[in-house]
Every structure is written in structure tokens, then in C-alpha cells.
Amino acid sequence: MEHPSQPSVRHFDHCPWLFADEATEEQRAAQREVQRAVGGDTGIGERCYVAESAAVFPDRLRLGDDSYIAAHAYVTGELDTGSHCTLNPFTTVRGNVVLGHGVRIGAHTSLLGFNHSMAPDRPVYRQPLTSRGIRVGDDVWIGSHVIVVDGVTIGDHCVIGAGAVVTRDLPAWSVAAGNPARVLRDRREVRGAGAVEAEVEVEVAMDPVAAAAVSGVRPDEGRTPATRPAPDPEPRAVAAGHPQPTPHDRRAVQTAKAADTEAAAAAPERRSDDNRTPTTRPAPEPGAAAAGNAERAPHDRRGVQVAAPAVGAEVADLPGIRPGGGRTPATRPAPDPGPRAATLAGFADTARDQAARLLDRCWDGEQYVDRPGAVPTVRAHCDAVEIADLLLGAVPEHLTAEEHIGRLSGLQDPKSGLVPEFGEPLPVADADGFIGEGAALYHVLCLGYALDLLGPGLPHPVCGVRDMTSRQLIARLEALPWRTGAWGAGAWVDSLATAAHWNLRHDDGGDNGHGTPEALFGWLLTRADPWTGMWGRPSAEEGRLQVVNGYYRLTRGSFAQFGLPVPYPERVVDAVLDHARDARHFGPGRENACNVLDVAHPLWLCTRQLGRDADGYRSGEIRDWAERQLATVLPRWQDGRGFGFGPGAAGPGPDPGLQGTEMWLAIIWYLADLLDRSGELGYRPRGIHRPEPARQGIGGLS
């Protein structure tokens, strides 16, 4: 029985922000039971609260740290939130909805990430459901009594006024209100509180529904004051009363799609250029939303509940997963060499036992090919050297070590230091002396590290980088396509920085690129976006794909390779985890080696910089993601053939080959190390994907 002086469950349901500081141990235990009882595929972060009176029946729920679902909220379908997200009393969230970090949703607001078709050939109740989904960026404040319809994307840092009906995309930093909602101004414009108040009052005066909804309710308080308080410096009238989120979760401005059609809430085909793939589902049977509510596992030491992914019967043996869903509870004793430990170790033993077979498969009698039937490439030979070193601690047995060195060293042009592809002419350098694109850029990495593993390293400096002036380098960096092709820009920086690293090993009387790293790091450190820690901008078509993948390539060759700390590591973690929730790139069956590596490495790099303890920044979400990825990838090993790169247009495709195998072996190490379990593998990357810096600092940056 609750003590009369203690807040009741009903009190916390309506004021969940008080729970962390005021709840008793009994109430905390009861809340854990409420969270465990939530059905569907559920993962709930640390310091979260789910109201006992809320109707939460998800197919999939990911609730980020420090988030809550308040009294009488109604949640169905698939909801994925970042940290510090709030669903205030009587909020409705249905269908496919993704929220960023620091999203505040006012009372009585509805986010409806599904729709009915309305063809005239059948009654409405027999119409199938469609779902494009709703995506909400970071640091977004949605007021009370707002309706957001299916297919809408709301950019980062938006504020939406009470009673608005959002029928089309809103660009980042918008202040919007009305029915249909329209952009009133850019939030970054500095205005006094009175100007904001007058602006919104004019807007809602045009719309009786919106005007009736502007009631002055503070979601933090759950009460409607009898008289409206005087406006304060925050735009309370705009969003019906939640304090503005702190800068902690803010990110870069996101480029939102333009939407020219103001569709009604029921329109199933709002616009033709929507980047989400529509899915059609039959209308649910009564009670279907609550079907399959398996018992949830207890909280682990990070306070996250996770259901076992559906990857087959072997899921119980995969890392961090146990039958019945969820991860190991906090009271679990030290692990013994049981199924969890055996999975990674067993996988590595299998890979080692089969390494010679998969290398044989990719040797055509004269040269290495990525997979049978493919043409020989420089990268295939280098991948073979990396795989043999990683798994066997030896060179591929088809050639002696001296023959491997002779063949690979002979590929580098002694005059330019560049390495063309087999059968292709030497690349033509640009005006500043270095190349801008093509396979030769990656050959600086793969050939250099293959020869590094074999002993001698690249025999010649990369002259275009050695002779490039700081002025030329800055001009090239400024001209890279950061807005439209951040991956290509990051790949170019990776190649240039790696060439500078190799050049520093040579001493032929020239500068050898000694000035290049200082100029490069100076430019990078002053151009990193403080909201994301990255370079480049997201797009409506690809989300953060180009930016995150470019970040991996850029930091691999620069900050990681030279052992220097990256700027804004917390913001990087925020942006990367947000990207990792993008179903376009990480939906079932859509992961490829590039996309997973380009999330795993930045998370690893930043967590090592921030601290690797279990209570580190967003550690629960990071470990949860790493466990799910391991559970997905380990069963994909094909005996004697290795890993396929993965689906999609990028890379060599899903057939097993040397590139996919080399990359996934490194990815598995990084995922395991994020879980502090890489020692079970018995291998550690030493080539391109080595975790240790290749050198420690440079000049005044060391």
C-alpha cells in the first residue's frame, strides 16, 4: 500500500517526469513489471516510464533512454524513439512512426502513420491499410491537439503550434501552425515573445479548430490553468507548453523534401516522390493488436528490454540473446563458457578452419578474383592477404611471401605513386597533382595495408599528395561535394590522409606530405557541424546515409589512423544511432557490409573516446544495436564460401566473396568489441580496419 505522503501511480501516470526522483523502490519494481508486460518486439531504454493507464500494444517498440509514455496514451504499430522523448497524456501514436531525440509531443496529439485506401469497389471497412510512415527529426516540439497524417516528415528543430493539422513535410527549423499547417517562420530568427505570441494568434484566428485547441495546457503539469499566464521568453503559445529542449540532443539542419500538394488527411497517395516504400496490410482482426504479447525479459544492467530477433531456431545461441527474449538480467553471475561464449568463439573457429577453402575458391590459377566468375582485381589480391593474416596469421599459400610482395609492389607506378586497376591505364592526376575518383583512390588503402601486413609497405611515395600545397589542399576540400555526395568526399579524404601516412615513412629529401595532415585536420576541425560532429548534409531521398558513410571513411583515414580525438563525439553517436533506425537502409534484409561497418566503426571510435563503461553515453542503445547486428550476421556465413557483401546496388552483391568476407570479419570484431567480447574471437584486424592508430598524432596535433 502506498504511503499517503508518496505520489500515487495515478499521479506518476499523469506526471511521469517526477518518477525518477520521487518513486519508491516498490513503485520502481511495479514499473519494471509494467514495462515487461508490454507486448510485441519491445526494447525500453534506461530511466523510462510507461504509464499503467496507457494502452500500449505495439508490433515493435523502441523507447530511447529518459523517455516516457504518459497516462491514457494509445500506442500501436511500430514506434521507434530516440532519447528524451515524451508522449504526454492522451497522445495517440499509431502505424509506423520514428522519432528523433528530444521530441516533445503535447497532450491529445495524434501521429497517424497509416491510412485507409478509399477505392469505390468495396465498403470502407473492407479497405486495406497503407502505411508510408511518419518521421520526426531531433529537437522537435509538437503542441497539444495536433494531428500529423501518414507520409509526413518533420525536420529537425521544428516547433508545431497547438491544433495544427500537418499534411505535408516541414523543413528543419520551421515554426508551423494552422489547418493545414503552414510554415510561419524559421525558428532561428530571433524574435521577442510578444511577436511570437501575436504571430500564432493571427494564425489560429483563421482556424476555429486550432483556436479552440490553444488552451495553455502545460504537458509537464497535466493541468489547464484557469487564466492564461503571461508569455515567457520561450514560445509557449506556439506549442502549448513544453519547455524548449536543451541543446544536448540538437543536430544538423536536415534538408527536407519540398511537397507541392496539400493533401487531405485521408488521401492515400499524397505525393509521388515520397521516399518511403508503401506497404499494404489487411485490416486487423479485433484484438490483433495485442496478439503475441510474449512475456518480456527482465531489465539487464543497462535497463533495456529486447525481444529475440526472428532469425531461426539458433537465436538462443546468438550473442546476448536467450530463449524467451531479452538480455541477461543485472543479477546474472559471471558468464561461463556456455552458448553465449561458444557462439563467437565457435564462429571464429569455423572461419579459421575454412579460410584456406574460401581462398582457394577465389584463386583462378593465376590471380585472385572476388568470387568465381569475376575478373581479377587489385582489391581481390589485397583482400586475400588481409583474410589470411586475420584468420591464419600467414600469407595466402598460393604464392610465397616474396611472390606476394613482388606482385603487389610492382603494381605501384614509381613516378606518381598511383596504382591503376588491372588492364586500365594510369589515372590522370588533377591540377593539384592528386586524383579525384576511381579505383586507384581505394588502392592507396588496400595495397598499402596489404604490403604493410607483408612487411615492406608501399615502395614509393604518392607524389600528388607529397607535393600538394596547403592552399591547393584547402581549395580541393572546399570543392568536394559535401552536400550532394558526402560519401565520395569522405572517401577522398580517406585516400589523401592514408597517402600522407605512407609518405611520412619515406625520406627522399622532399616534404613528403608533412604539411598535408596539419592543413587537413585544421580544415576538418573548423568545418565539423557542432550538431552532428559530421561533415555534409542529409537528404530527403537517402536520409543520413551519405553523411554517416562518408563520416566513417573520412575519420578512418584521418582521426582514427592518426590517433586523434574526433570532435563532438556525443553528437556523432546521436546522429549515427538515428541513421541506424532508418528502415530504408537497416530494414530486414537490407543491411550490407558498408552500411553496417559505417555505423559500427563510428560508434566504436566515439565510445572509446567517451569511455567504454556500461554507463557511458547511450551505451545501452549501442550495445543493443550491436547485439542485434551480430544475431543477424553470424548465421549468414556460408561454409567454405564466407560472407556476401549484401543486398543493394553498392558493392559486389549478395554472393559470397573476398570483399564481403574481409569486411564482415572486421565488422564482427567491432560489434563484439562494443559488447566487450572481442576476445572470444581470437583475432584482431591489423590492416585497413585495424582498431589501433597506424601512427600517433602529427606535428602539433599529437
State residue 115's pLDDT score. 86
pTM of the model: 0.58
Write b or e for each residue in 333-347: b if 16 or more Cβ atoms lie within 10 A of its Cβ, otherwise e: eeeeeeebeebbbeb
Position 91 confidence tier, pLDDT thresholds 50, 70, 90: very high
State residue 540's pLDDT score. 82
Write b or e for each residue in 635-662: b if 16 or more Cβ atoms lie within 10 A of its Cβ, otherwise e: ebbeeebbbbbbeeeebbbbebbbbbbb
Nine cell digits for residue 243: 519547455
Longest dimension (CA), the chain: 86
Position 701 confidence tier, pLDDT thresholds 50, 70, 90: low
User: What number of residues does the chain have?
Assistant: 702
Report which secondary-structure segment, H or E, holds 414: none
Nine cell digits for residue 154: 518533420
- CB-count burial class (<10 Å; 0-12, 13-18, 19+) for 414: exposed
Position 268 confidence tier, pLDDT thresholds 50, 70, 90: very low
Rounded to whole angstroms, the Cα distance separating 655 from 636 reads: 11
Position 4 confidence tier, pLDDT thresholds 50, 70, 90: low
Taking the CA of residue 416 as centre, how many other CA atoms within 13 Å lie in the half-sphere pointing to its CB? 18
State residue 649's pLDDT score. 59
Degrees, nearest 5: CA angle 535-417-492: 10
- No. of helices (H) and no. of strands (E), the chain: 20, 20
Q: What is the mean pLDDT of the chain?
A: 79
Position 698 confidence tier, pLDDT thresholds 50, 70, 90: low
Tell me which amino acid residue 48 is: C
State residue 699's pLDDT score. 57
Position 121 confidence tier, pLDDT thresholds 50, 70, 90: confident
pLDDT at 352 over 90: yes
State residue 697's pLDDT score. 67
Contacts of 358 (CB under 8 A, 6+ apart): 387, 640, 641, 642, 656, 658, 661
Position 236 confidence tier, pLDDT thresholds 50, 70, 90: very low
What is the DSSP annotation of 429-447? P-TTSS--SSHHHHHHHHH
**Cis bond upstream, residue 530 (ω within 30):** no
Nine cell digits for residue 684: 584482431
Q: What is the pLDDT of residues 519-557, one digit of tens each?
A: 999 999 999 999 899 999 898 888 999 999 999 999 999
Q: What is the pLDDT of residues 567-607, one digit of tens each?
A: 999 999 999 999 999 988 998 878 899 999 999 999 999 99
Contacts of 567 (CB under 8 A, 6+ apart): 525, 528, 533
Rounded to whole angstroms, the Cα distance separating 518 from 516 reads: 6
Rounded to whole angstroms, the Cα distance separating 209 from 162 reads: 10
Lowest-confidence segment of 121-125, 374-378, 514-518, 613-617 by average pLDDT: 514-518
DSSP alpha helices (H): ranges in 190-316?
Answer: 193-205, 208-213, 236-239
Tell me which amino acid residue 11 is: H
Q: Write 61-69 long-range contacts (CB < 8 A, 24+).
A: 62/581, 64/101, 64/621, 65/618, 65/620, 65/621, 68/16, 68/17, 68/19, 69/16
Coil, helix or strand for 489? helix
Position 125 confidence tier, pLDDT thresholds 50, 70, 90: confident
State residue 191's pLDDT score. 57
State residue 393's pLDDT score. 96
Residue 58 and residue 40 in contact, taking contact as beta carbons nearer than 8 Å: yes
Q: What is the pLDDT of residues 22-64, one digit of tens each?
A: 888 889 999 999 998 997 789 998 899 999 999 999 999 999 9
